[in-house]
Amino acid sequence: MTDLVPGSNSFATSNSPTTTLAPLRTVPAFGLYAAHVRALLTETVRIPIAIIGSMVFPAMSLLFFVVPNRAIADDPVAATQAVISLSVFAVMVSALFNLGLTIAENREKPWDPYLRSLPLPATVRIGAQLTATSALSFAAIVPVLLVGWIATAAEVSPLGLVLGLVVLALTNVPFLLLGVSIGYAFPAKAAIAVIQVGMFGFAFAGGLFFPPQFFPDWLDAISRVIPARHARDLVISAVEGTTPDVWMLLGTISWTIGVAALAVWLYRRDEGHRFR
């Protein structure tokens, strides 16, 4: 019977102090970030159809809603603002959809949980996702710019174009982080619904479909806290060479900080999606 008495306790957990080994060596964050950006872009480029939708829709909006309306299309100022609005829309949709949906889907697959077992800081993974999606977002405005250049009176100086693109990239950061947050907060099917409601809400309230000059006061007041409005007005300022208002800058900076904190918190909280 002695054989069968379990658990000689020679292996019981000791109460010795925590083992501290030699400092663990880690790799430089930038190289790791570059490796993740490369892998994410490679994955997307090998299935290009995934990004076609976000590239075509904004250009079609310009073609069907702005180009036939000659009062706008033939007016250089109005046409330029319309092209800018739809460029903001294009990068916003791309950021929310590509990031939000991709992250939500990946959480339901086993590769993402595996990456979390590697010595990979949250900020590096999120930073790589933002960069890869930004690159794709900018592909999405090429058709918009082409349609605007060929079929409307929109005009821009070379300096205005460069400044406009830089400001567009910076003001897109809150949407990228919002995409990350949605991806980590919702399962894929719920993420689609949230993204669709969010992107059209932002587009209308932010003045991307109808210029905010025509908004009633109450709607304009709401519009001034919407990040799409900040992005639109700041890019217009950059392209036209005017001085931006303080509320636009404060708005976009507040959104960036707030959503960045939300995204990091949601990433750290996440343990992969579980079906019950």
Longest alpha-carbon distance in the chain: 98
State the nearest-atom distance from the C-beta of 56 to another protein, in Å. Answer: 22
State the nearest-atom distance from the C-beta of 186 to another protein, in Å. Answer: 19
120, 132, 156, 167: residue in contact with another protein (rule CB under 8 A): 120
The backbone torsions φ and ψ at residue 5, rounded to the nearest 5 degrees and listed phi first, read: -75, 120
75, 113, 187, 225: residue in contact with another protein (rule CB under 8 A): 113
For the chain, strand residue ranges (E) read: none
For residue 67, what is the enclosing H or E element? none
Look at residues 191, 169, 176, 143 and name the one whose alpha carbon lies nearest to residue 259. Answer: 176
Decide: 206 and 76 in contact? Cβ < 8 Å.
no
Q: Under the criterion CB under 8 A, does residue 150 sit at the interface with another protein?
A: no
For residue 227, with 0-12 CB atoms within 10 Å meaning exposed, 13-18 middle and 19 or more buried, which class applies? buried
User: What DSSP designation does 169 have?
Assistant: H
CA distances for 204 relative to 16, 153, 210, 227, angstroms: 63, 24, 7, 12
Q: Under the criterion CB under 8 A, does residue 127 sit at the interface with another protein?
A: no
State the nearest-atom distance from the C-beta of 210 to another protein, in Å. Answer: 40
Q: Under the criterion CB under 8 A, does residue 218 sit at the interface with another protein?
A: no
State the nearest-atom distance from the C-beta of 219 to another protein, in Å. Answer: 44
What track of x and - describes contact with another protein for positions 28 through 47 (by CB under 8 A)? ---xx--xx--x--xx--xx
What track of x and - describes contact with another protein for positions 3 through 22 (by CB under 8 A)? xxxxxx-xxxxx-x-xxxx-
State the nearest-atom distance from the C-beta of 12 to another protein, in Å. Answer: 8
For residue 64, with 0-12 CB atoms within 10 Å meaning exposed, 13-18 middle and 19 or more buried, which class applies? exposed
CA distances for 153 relative to 212, 234, 261, angstroms: 20, 21, 41
41, 63, 67, 122: residue in contact with another protein (rule CB under 8 A): 122
53, 68, 76, 121: residue in contact with another protein (rule CB under 8 A): 121
The residue among 122 and 194 lying less far from another protein, judged by its C-beta, is: 122
State the nearest-atom distance from the C-beta of 193 to another protein, in Å. Answer: 24
Q: Under the criterion CB under 8 A, does residue 49 sit at the interface with another protein?
A: no
CA distance 239 to 224: 20
User: What DSSP designation does 155 have?
Assistant: -
User: What residues line the site for another protein (CB under 8 A)?
Assistant: 1, 3-8, 10-14, 16, 18-21, 24-27, 31-32, 35-36, 39, 42-43, 46-47, 109-111, 113-114, 116-122, 268, 271-272, 274, 276
